[in-house]
């Protein structure tokens, strides 16, 4: 989940309440940081350095730095999950630490699998430290996440929630790796419903887990926990689809990504899959395969309704998020902050 | 933990009761297999195939085969752990599944880190399926192990035990990777006590965890659980040191490894570390660096007392195992089987 691509909508307007969302993220990050630092400090020093590098806390070699880390969306969801359940923010901290560790573990390993050499404008851990050490550091963060949750009261249930999300993460990554080998068209093609499942597994499962774990540790009723899991899962799908739209039509000055990058990389994104299933599918395949006219491909996808279908799909998932949030009792102040955060992540008026 | 190297002692005699040990291993493997197959069957099919390949159940592509898998030492320790606590064997099955999954996860990832292209006379998973998929399959097995244990009654405590062992595994692997970069001599050299810590973490922790988890799920008293953890940890150190001796002086027809292989690979094994700390250390460094006379290096290590010191060290850890076993009440039949298994893994009369 990148940050720059979220700063504006596909049409370039400013977000609804970016200041509110940033305030929430900053508050949660500050709250969680001591516990996260303490957990990372218990790692083997070499592994701990790789972890700190990933979080943007140090350079290779260990010199302190304040490089851009992640926004900390997952830790914020965990803290807000506890708060909407009426518990103090600190009740969600262990969940926040666990999900940030798992998220970082998955970035470390996914970058190896996907061959992505950069992460947040710095060399990825496998590029900076080597593939073997990056595999090991990921494993260590994974183990630390499990250890952190298992030490909580009610830890078994929390670990079950986390391991289910981990299972989904792995399943989503497996399908995503296999997508690259599948044909553009024909019976073996990737279908939009498979795309939705991968987006839910790769992105939604951990977002849902974060909010659900925070709520569960905050003593929420099972319906509230389930509703927040659902919120995170549909948020993840909506986020991913909006990200796909930005990856084709977004302003590179805002997204920080090369124009038409996803088309050049021949990614099987939602707008592309929709257009491939339309009468212009054959022409689109030829353009994508040739790879030299991504602008023409983007135009063809838009003509075929790929962009509109993607935005409609994203809106559908945002509606599910709204319905899920409306269906359970939530502490008012925290719920407003949660809505500000969700609105920041995926524009509510797209 | 290789199998062939264990078939005879450093001096080539037959083991004490190999038939008994094989009977125990076979019984436990047959008992655990359905639950292990069921767990693996819940994985994504592609990941499940990599797991089945690792267990020796199929070839690349999924065709069934009966290739040599591991001996199943960890699953046997888990089952025997339950039985020595007076519980039926089935009480240890979830622990057995979890530790076999964790062991396989660690082999998949360690082979990537160590660049080992072969495992049990077949291509390692990363060679057969690619590095990325092997990373992912390891992650999936890790998550499945946690999920399996968390679903048990008393799961939080079991998950804490497992995650502590996982932390040790990672720590041991980190130190081991760093050993290769450290000098033979001088203040930065690897000391025998660091070697012991790595052997305990890399090999002993999961063996101890296996027996302790089985006992805990079998309802054993905390002293018994702690004693079995200690048994596994010292067994692991003893095993590793005997393995080092066999790696230098073992008969390659029995060990299945090239003669003097560990010396050619310049491994910092226990006998080597002892000899490096002796007056002939400088000559040994020259021989190891030149790399063309491993026979002379082996002779020098033996003259310097490296072999004798290693065997004495192994005996010391076996004595700790015996003392730990004698200090707690254990069901007689299962305790005899446990002793047969331990005796098979590390000769009691070395």
Domain of residue A238, CATH code = 1.10.600.10
Q: How far is A149 from chain B (nearest CA, A)?
A: 9
Measure in Å the smallest separation between the Cα of A102 and chain B Cα atoms: 11
How close A156 comes to chain B (CA, Å)?
4
Domain of B18, in residue numbers: 4-118+134-339
When pLDDT is cut at 50, 70 and 90, the band that residue A251 belongs to is confident
Choosing among B174, B178, B194, B213, which should be mutated to test the A contact, i.e. which has the most A CBs within 10 A? Answer: B174
Measured between beta carbons, the chain B residues lying within 8 angstroms of A133 are 113, 177
Q: Give the Å distances, CA to CA, from B250 to B11, B143, B230, B237, B263.
A: 8, 38, 28, 18, 12
- Residue A343 included in any domain: no
What would the pLDDT profile of B161-176 be if each residue is shown by its tens digit?
999 999 999 999 999 9
> Is residue A349 one of the residues assigned to a domain?
no
For residue A176, pLDDT over 90 is answered with: yes
pLDDT of residue B258: 77
Cross-chain Cβ contact B155/A151 below 8 Å:
no
Per-residue H/E/C for chain B: CCCHHHCECCCCCECCCHHHHHHHHHHHHHHHHHHHHHHHHCCCHHHHHHHHHHCCCECCCCCECCCCCCCCHHHHHHHHHHHHCCCCHHHHHHHHHHHHHHHHHHHHHHHHHHCCCEECCEECHHHHHCHHHHHHHHHHHHHHHHHHHHCCCCHHHHHHHHHHHHHHHHHHHHHHHHHCCCCCCCCCCCCHHHHHHHHHHHHHHHHHHHHHHHHHHCCCCHHHHHHHHHHHHHHHHHHHHHHHHHHHHCCHHHHCCCCCHHHHCCCCCHHHHHHHCCCCHHHHHHHHHHCCCHHHHHHHHHHCCHHHHHHHHHHHHHHHHHHHHHCCCCCHHHHHHHHHHHHHHCCCCC
| Residue B163, domain member (yes or no) | yes
Q: Tell me which chain A residues have a C-beta less than 8 angstroms from the C-beta of B112.
A: 131-132, 135
CB A249 within 8 A of CB A221: no
Q: What is the pLDDT of residue A18?
A: 75
CA dihedral B97, B98, B102, B104 (to 10 degrees): 10
Which one of A46, A146, A173 has the shortest CB-CB distance to B136? A173
Task: Give SS3 for A137.
Answer: helix
CB contact under 8 A, A44 and B133: no
Could you give the CA distance from residue B228 to residue B163 in angstroms, rounded to a whole number? 17
- CB–CB of B139 and A167 under 8 A? no
Q: Do A139 and B177 touch (CB under 8 A)?
A: no
**Is A285's pLDDT higher than 50?**
yes
| Confidence at A17, pLDDT banded by 50, 70, 90 | low
DSSP A10: T
| Contact criterion met (CB < 8 Å) for B112 and A132 | yes
On whether residue A333 sits in a domain, the answer given is yes
- Adjacent-strand bridge partners of B118: B123
Domain-located, residue B39: yes
Assign B6 a pLDDT band (cuts: 50, 70, 90).
Answer: very low
Residues of B in contact with A151 (CB under 8 A): 160
The shortest C-alpha distance from B122 to chain A (Å) reads: 21
Residues of B in contact with A217 (CB under 8 A): none
Q: What is the band of B17 on the pLDDT scale with cuts at 50, 70, 90?
A: low
Greater pLDDT, A25 or B70: A25
CB contact under 8 A, B177 and A133: yes
Domain count, chain A: 1
Question: Considering the domain boundaries, does residue B345 fall inside one?
Answer: no
Q: Which residues does chain B have within 8 Å of residue A138's beta carbon, measured at their own beta carbons?
A: 135, 139
What sign for the dihedral angle of Cα A94, A96, A97, A101? positive
Structure ipTM: 0.91
- Say whether B155 and A160 touch across the interface (CB within 8 A): yes
- Number of CB pairs < 8 Å for A and B? 127
Q: Is residue B349 part of a domain?
A: no
Please list every residue in chain A whose beta carbon sits closer than 8 Å to the beta carbon of residue B139.
109, 138, 142, 166, 170
Chain A hits for B155, CB-CB cut-off 8 Å, are 156, 159-160
Q: Is the dihedral of CA B179, B183, B188, B193 positive or negative?
A: positive
What's the sign of the alpha-carbon dihedral B104, B107, B110, B115?
Answer: negative
Q: Let me know if residue B24 belongs to a domain.
A: yes
How much is the pLDDT for A13? Answer: 35
């Amino acid at each position: 989940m990148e940050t720059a691509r979220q700063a504006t909508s596909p049409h370039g307007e400013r977000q609804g309440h970016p200041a509110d969302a940033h305030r929430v993220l900053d508050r949660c990050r500050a709250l969680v940081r001591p516990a996260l630092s303490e957990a990372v400090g218990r790692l083997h020093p070499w592994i701990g350095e790789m972890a700190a590098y990933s979080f943007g806390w140090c350079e290779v070699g260990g010199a302190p730095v304040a490089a851009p880390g992640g926004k900390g969306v997952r830790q914020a969801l965990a803290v807000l999950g506890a708060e909407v359940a009426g518990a103090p923010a600190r009740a969600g901290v262990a969940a926040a630490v666990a999900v940030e560790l798992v998220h970082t573990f998955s970035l470390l390993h996914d970058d190896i699998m996907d061959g992505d050499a950069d992460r947040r404008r710095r060399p990825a851990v496998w590029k900076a430290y080597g593939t073997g050490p990056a595999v090991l550091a990921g494993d260590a963060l994974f183990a630390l996440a499990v250890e952190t949750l298992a030490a909580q009261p009610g830890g078994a249930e929390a670990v079950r929630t986390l391991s289910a999300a981990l299972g989904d993460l792995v399943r989503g990554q497996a399908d995503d790796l296999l997508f690259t080998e599948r044909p553009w068209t024909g019976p073996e093609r990737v279908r939009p419903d498979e795309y939705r499942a991968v987006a839910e597994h790769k992105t939604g499962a951990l977002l849902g887990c974060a909010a659900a774990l925070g709520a569960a540790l905050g003593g929420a009723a099972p319906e509230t926990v389930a509703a927040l899991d659902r919120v995170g899962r549909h948020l993840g799908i909506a986020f991913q689809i909006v990200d796909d739209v930005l990856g084709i039509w977004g302003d590179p000055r805002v997204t920080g990504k090369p124009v038409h990058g996803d088309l050049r990389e021949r990614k099987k994104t939602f707008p592309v899959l929709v257009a491939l299933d339309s009468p212009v599918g054959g022409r689109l395949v030829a353009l994508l395969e040739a790879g030299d006219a991504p602008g023409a491909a983007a135009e063809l996808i838009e003509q075929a309704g790929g962009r509109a279908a993607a935005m409609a799909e994203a809106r559908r998932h945002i509606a599910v998020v709204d319905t899920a949030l409306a269906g359970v009792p939530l502490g008012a102040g925290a719920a407003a902050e949660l809505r500000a955060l969700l609105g920041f992540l995926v524009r509510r008026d797209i």
